[in-house]
Structure 1
Amino acid sequence: MSDVVNITEAAAFQIKEMMKHNGEEGSFLRVAVKGGGCSGLSYGMAFEQEVGEKDQQLEQFDIKILVSEGDAPILNGTTIDYKQSMMGGGFTIDNPNAIASCGCGSSFRTATNTGTPENC
C-alpha cells in the first residue's frame, strides 16, 4: 500500500540538503496543491514548523511530510523524485491522478478537479 505522497531516495537526499542549507533541519516538508498554472492546478512544496489541525503526517527517509486533508485525494499515490542532468537538476512529480498536464509538468488537472487555469 502506497502513501499519499512517496519520495524517492534521490529526492530525500536533495530535500535534506536544502533543509540543512536553509537552517530548516527538523522542519516538516509540506506538499500541497493550489489553483493556477496552465492546466488549473499547481504543486507546492515548502518547509513548515507547525502541523495544522487537518494535516496528515507521513515520514519517509527521516523526512516528516505534511499533506492537508483536502489535498490528499488529489495527491494520492504521487511520487516525488529528483533528477540530475548536464543542464542542472530539479524535482519531478508523478501524480497518477493527473489526466492532463502542461509542458513544464508543474501544472495539472484531475478528472474531478480542474482548478483555476491561467493563460500561459
Structure 2
Amino acid sequence: MIPVKVSDKALEEIKKTIAHKNIPDEYGLRIGVNGGGCAGVSYVLGFDKKGTGDAEFTLDNVPVYIAKKDTMFLIGMEVDFYEGNDARGFTFIKSDEKQQSVQ
C-alpha cells in the first residue's frame, strides 16, 4: 500500500503531464523528500527512473517510486493539485498541518 495519498485532481494533472510532456515509458512519478535535519524536510515531486533503493507502487497505471528512506516522512501526507487566482501547482498536505507547496 502506498504511504502517501494522491488526490484525484493531482492524479489527473500527473496524467496530463505524462501525455503532454512526452515522459519516457521507463520513467515513473517520484515522490520524496529533501533534507530532514533541523530545518525539516521539503517535499519532491517529479519524474525519474526507478532506483535500487526504491519501493514501487502503481496508481491508476502510473508507476510511483519512493525511496525507502523517505517513506516515514510521507506517511499521512496527501499530494493535491491547487488551482486558484494566486497560484497553480502541486501541494503536499498533512491533516494536522498547514499546506506546503512543492518547491
TM-score (norm 1): 0.69
Structure 1 ranges of 4+ moved more than 6 A: none
Q: Which runs of 5+ in 2 are unaligned?
A: none
Give the equivalent residue in structure 2 for 1:9. 8
Where in structure 2 are the equivalents of 1:1-120 lying within 5 Å?
Answer: 3-24=2-23, 26=25, 27-35=27-35, 39-48=39-48, 50-95=49-94, 105-106=100-101
Bigger share in helix? 2
CA-based RMSD of the aligned residues comes to 2.6
* Larger-Rg structure: 1
TM-score (norm 2): 0.79
Aligned identity (percent) is 24
Bigger share in strand? 2
Change (3 A) 1:72 1:83: same
Q: Which runs of 5+ in 1 are unaligned?
A: 108-120
**Structure 1, 19-28 or 66-75: larger mean CA deviation:** 19-28
Q: Distance in 2 between matches of 1:75 and 1:46?
A: 15
Structure 1 contact 6–79 (Cα < 8 Å) conserved: yes
Count of aligned positions: 100
